Amino acid sequence: MADRHIGLDEIASYFDELKDPRSPINQKHPFVSVVVMSIMGVLAGASGPAGIAEWAQSKKEFLLKTLDLPHGLPRKDVFRRVLCLLNPAAFQACFVEWLGSLRDAAAAATGVTQPVMPVDGKCNRRSHDRARGLGALHSVSIWASEFGLSLGQVACAEKSNEITAIPELLKLVDIQGAIITIDAMGTQKAIAEVIIERKADFVLALKGNQGNLHDEVIDYMDRHEDNGFADITVRSHTTMEKGHGREEIRSYFHMAVPRDLKGLEDWPGLRSIGKVVSICKRDGNETIETRYYISSLAVGVKRFAHAVRSHWGIENSCHWSLDMTFREDESRIRDKHMRENMAWLNRFTLSLLKQHKNGKSLVMNRRRCGWNDETLLQILTGAKT
């Protein structure tokens, strides 16, 4: 499965069932060709309809040979119309089979059988339109850390709406067998229930918003730590990292959930609790941070530590790349559907770039997609270099 790659015909076929949202009057350009060209344009560095159209003009000969374009290249208004009218949920649904192929190939290449999939929200701060009462786009997405794949996104009004968006997202994506990690805002009984129903595991952060549960976990751990965990079985693991003038020591503790924990029966699948103590030294200053977690995993401290550490993959590998490589936070696209569709194209093309292991940076590979037709097709179809 790791050697499998897809061709342009198969890519086009993913969108055969997607309904063309345009009026049939004066339709000149095949809908699927417009969609595939949009993916190519974003992969090559475009950040909106004008950029896609400009890139297409520079690649006219290549595109006319490669895609069904009986009336020549579309202008920017065609791309704008399609991206504005496309239903974001229907558009994203077309990528499920494609993503499944990428995920299978990544699993075979890495040997990872239980991937960590962090869930987190991101705000495109400049996408607001005060004149029309449109707030900035806020979306929740899920990232397969070991695979470098963005598997889905759901837009929500603002950060406080993540709680309702997360279950919707988890139902859109195949999470079976994965470890889902979420920060404290998403530590909700209903979300844990969805994860267990979908045959996945969870590692959920605890903070004060969980009230009694947060306090009881802290009290339980502190009480037993005071006597060296003499009365319970606990697993511990310590790591140390150095770099960029910083030294960080992380101590992980993982233990079975106490059977007398109040409200335990309300948390589906809850089997263990954990703590991470981070000691960071930089420029002669030392800071200490302690974080607590609940989990459906059986006690196994290295797996717990890996899940906690991998959660930051969505920030470091996904969100950071979207802002620095795709300049997403600077986007001024303010049409509600277009900004969601462009956000998804950014995530998906980032995933394609992450699968292309050639030792070059994301920025350089994106530039190469714009410069070189062969490189573009290699990254788009997953062909070997």
The pLDDT of residue 2 is 43
List pLDDT tens digits, range 180-192.
999 999 999 999 9
156 vs 248, higher pLDDT:
248
Average pLDDT, the chain: 92
pLDDT at residue 149 tops 70: yes
pLDDT, average across residues 57-79: 96
pLDDT at residue 329 tops 70: yes
Mean pLDDT is lowest, of 16-20, 124-128, 219-223, for 124-128
The pLDDT of residue 284 is 84
The pLDDT of residue 123 is 87
Torsion of CA 118, 205, 190, 168, to 10 degrees: -20
- Of 343, 270, 316, 256, give the one whose Cα is nearest residue 118: 316
State the CATH class of domain 206-298: alpha beta
pLDDT, average across residues 100-116: 95
pLDDT, average across residues 234-253: 93
Mean pLDDT is lowest, of 49-53, 92-96, 205-209, 246-250, for 205-209
Alpha helices in the chain (DSSP H): 8-13, 31-43, 49-58, 60-66, 76-85, 88-93, 96-110, 162-172, 189-197, 212-225, 301-310, 313, 320-324, 336-355, 362-371, 373-381
The pLDDT of residue 334 is 85
List pLDDT tens digits, range 256-313.
999 999 889 999 999 999 999 999 998 889 999 999 999 999 999 999 999 999 999 9
Mean pLDDT is lowest, of 18-27, 104-113, 125-134, for 125-134
pLDDT at residue 243 tops 90: no
- Dihedrals φ, ψ of 247, to 5°? -120, 130
List pLDDT tens digits, range 263-272.
899 999 999 9
Percent of the residues in the chain that have a pLDDT greater than 90, as a whole number: 81
Q: How confident is the model at residue 1 (pLDDT cuts 50, 70, 90)?
A: very low
User: 């000149």: which residue's tokens?
Assistant: 28
Please tell me the distance from the alpha carbon of residue 298 to that of residue 201, in angstroms, as a whole number: 10
The pLDDT of residue 6 is 64
Mean pLDDT is lowest, of 34-38, 200-204, 226-230, for 226-230
Q: How confident is the model at residue 170 (pLDDT cuts 50, 70, 90)?
A: very high
Q: For residue 256, give the 3-state DSSP assignment.
A: strand
